[in-house]
Amino acid sequence: MQLEFYSLPLVVDRIMHKQEHARCSLQQSVIQHLHLLLITAFGEFPADEGFGCGIWDHDFDNVTSAHKLKEFIRQSLLQSVQLHEKRLGNVRVEILLRQEEVPEGAGGHRVKKKIDITIAGILQSTNERFNFRDSFFVGPLSY
């Protein structure tokens, strides 16, 4: 049995008025939820101030060593995923932190910190392997 989930962005008016809302698969729902978890800072969601991850506590951190920062982010994500995404079991988080040169107007370049994130696990209801990859630049956030 293939379950359907509401896709993001959630349009609450449509649901409240019993109108059709875009739907997605279990895998896509977990992907959207993990992405939301990644881009949310702790305290940003008033209904659950523990929702989010600790990446944003170190967004402009240039003092902490790359190894310590990478491990802090990995642990924070692991704990957040285990707490907020119950559909995923045997969760593993891998982080790659690197500097990348990005083009900037008029032929210039800028070096930014890029975080590559891989979250793997097992979908509890189907026992399928699950892999999620996301990456973004921080300081300030950009996709």
For the chain, the domain total comes to: 1
| 143 located within any domain | no
Residue 74 has pLDDT above 70, yes or no: yes
Q: CA–CA separation, 104 vs 60, rounded Å?
A: 19
| 51 located within any domain | yes
- Residue 143: the pLDDT is 44
Residue 93 has pLDDT above 50, yes or no: yes
What domain range is 92 assigned to?
5-138
Residue 11 has pLDDT above 60, yes or no: yes
Q: By three-state DSSP, how is residue 102 classified?
A: strand
| 94 located within any domain | yes
The CATH code of the domain that includes 99 is 3.10.450.40
| 58 located within any domain | yes
- Residue 131: the pLDDT is 97
Residues 119-140, buried b or exposed e (16+ Cβ, 10 A)?
Answer: bebeeeeeeeebebeeebebee
Q: By three-state DSSP, how is residue 55 classified?
A: helix
Max distance between CA atoms of the chain, in angstroms, equals 54
